[in-house]
Structure 1
Amino acid sequence: AAGALLQRGRERYEAICTPCHGLTGHGDGMIVARGFPRPPSYHEDRLRAAPARTLVDVITNGYGTMYRYANRVEPRDRWAIAAYIRALQLSQGARVAELPGLAEKIPEERP
C-alpha cells in the first residue's frame, strides 16, 4: 500500500507541482526561468521539519504566491503528494554512509 501511495504521489507531483517546484523539489521549475518567484526548496531545514499536515494544508489553501489547489487536487492525492515530498526530502538528503547495508557494498576506489 505504501508503494502505491508513493507512486500516486509521484504521478500527481510530476503532473501538478514540477512546473514550480522542479522534479527534485529544489524550487527550480520552469516557471522560475520565465520570471515567476522561486518557491522555497523542500530541502530547507524548515520544510524538512514541517509536519506532513502542513504540506497538505498548503496544497489545499495555497501560501504566499502559491495558488489554492483544493478544487484541483483530491484530498487523498494531497496526502499522496505530501508522502512523495517526504520521499524526495529523504532521497535528496541521504548520505551513502547513513544508508543501512549500502556503504559496505560499494567498492572502494583504487588509485
Structure 2
Amino acid sequence: MLKGATYNCGIELLLNMIGGKWKTLIMYYLITKSKRFSELKSLLPGITSKMLTKQLRELERDGLIKREIYHQVPLKVEYSLTAKGMELEVILLQMCEVGTRYLDHEDSHQKAVQLV
C-alpha cells in the first residue's frame, strides 16, 4: 500500500497490494503451510533472489504475510500468511481453479489445431 494514496474502490487497493507477477503466486504457495525463502524460490522459476526479497518485504509491509525468525544454528526464517492474508485464500484458490480450466481448454484447443 502506498502511504497517502487515494483509492476509488477496494479492488484498486487490493490490486495495489497483490498485483504484479509474483505476489499472488507467493501467497498461493503459502496457503497450506509456512515456507522458507529457498522453498519459495524453487517454486517460482525465473524469480531472482533480489525480486523475491522485494516482494516478500512488500507483502509483509502490507500485513499479508509474516516473517518468523527461529534463533537456531543455522538461522531459520519462515514466511506464512497472516489472518489478513488468509482472507484472500478463497480468491487465490478460485484463481487457480479458473486458470486450470483455461489451461485445460488451451491444451484441448492446441491439440485440435495440431490435428488439422
**TM-score of the aligned structures, taking structure 1 as reference length:** 0.31
Whose Rg is larger?
A: 2
Query: Between Structure 1 and Structure 2, which shows a larger proportion of strand residues?
Result: 2
